[in-house]
């Protein structure tokens, strides 16, 4: 079932709590300060009036701290709004077909697919499929044309035995007609079933693979 999971930053919550506590403390201290000031003003001697310079400085300090707390509250509100917008935007990827940089793909129901893109035509390309332990389980040699194309593996090893579902990696080594190496990029594709934003940066789930949003190259409707 498609889902979007995540939580706001613990740092934001901590800051909000700290700011709230600090605001209450400042308010309490300020009330005590005003009470002390008015009491001393009432009881001052006409012949020796109270020097208010110190009180004025303290008033300025209270005002500055209070303004800083208000600024922190405002910044916290902006951050919360930005996080909510990011989560809402990330949710839009669910159900979309994407292509992302990567060499791993999920084998499911006897098939795993990648997008391979040679920089130019190849005379020979050796495709190697490896399991999660890095052991090669299947190889295939073929010629590839320049440009993006889909390579689908049937999930069988060199002996023809079906391998269990899971995550497998692809590597492609290719040469052109003159024997020179040809660069081949690999990408994985699939439909996004979930988005996780708990780390702060959206991570998409495609099959059993997790893909950082920064790795996504193309997005299309089903």
- What are phi and psi for residue 55, nearest 5 degrees? -65, -40
For domain 97-220, give the CATH number. 2.60.40.4070
Q: Tokens at residue 210, please?
A: 């997790």
The 10s digit of each residue's pLDDT in 157-196 is: 999 999 999 999 999 999 999 999 999 999 988 888 888 8
Q: What is the pTM of this model?
A: 0.55
Where are the chain's structural domains? 7-91, 97-220
The 10s digit of each residue's pLDDT in 85-107 is: 555 667 778 888 888 888 988 88
Helix (H, G, I), strand (E, B) or coil at 47: coil
Q: How far apart are CA 26 and CA 30, in angstroms?
A: 6
Whether the CB-CB separation of 72 and 195 falls below 8 Å is answered with no
Q: What is the mean pLDDT of the chain?
A: 77
Q: Is the pLDDT of residue 59 over 80?
A: no
Quote the percentage of the chain above a pLDDT of 90. 33
């Amino acid at each position: 079932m498609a889902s979007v999971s995540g939580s706001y930053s613990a740092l934001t919550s901590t800051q909000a709590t700290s700011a709230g506590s600090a605001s209450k403390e400042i308010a309490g201290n300020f009330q005590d300060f005003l009470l002390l000031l008015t009491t001393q003003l009432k009881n001052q001697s006409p012949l020796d009036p109270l020097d208010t310079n110190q009180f004025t400085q303290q008033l300025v300090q209270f005002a500055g701290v209070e303004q800083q707390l208000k600024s922190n509250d405002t910044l916290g509100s902006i951050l919360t709004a930005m996080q909510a917008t990011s989560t809402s935007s990330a949710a839009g990827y669910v159900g979309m077909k994407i292509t992302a940089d990567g060499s791993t793909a999920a084998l499911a129901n006897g098939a795993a697919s990648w997008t391979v893109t040679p920089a130019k035509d190849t005379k020979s390309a050796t495709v190697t499929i490896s399991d999660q332990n890095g052991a090669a389980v299947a190889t295939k040699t073929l010629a590839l044309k320049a440009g993006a194309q889909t390579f689908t593996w049937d999930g069988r090893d060199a002996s023809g035995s079906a391998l269990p579902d899971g995550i497998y990696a692809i590597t492609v080594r290719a040469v052109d007609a003159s024997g020179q190496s040809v660069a081949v990029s690999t990408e994985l594709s699939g439909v996004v079933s979930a988005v996780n934003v708990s780390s702060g940066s959206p991570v998409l789930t495609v099959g059993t693979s997790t893909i950082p949003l920064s790795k996504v190259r193309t997005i299309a409707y089903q």
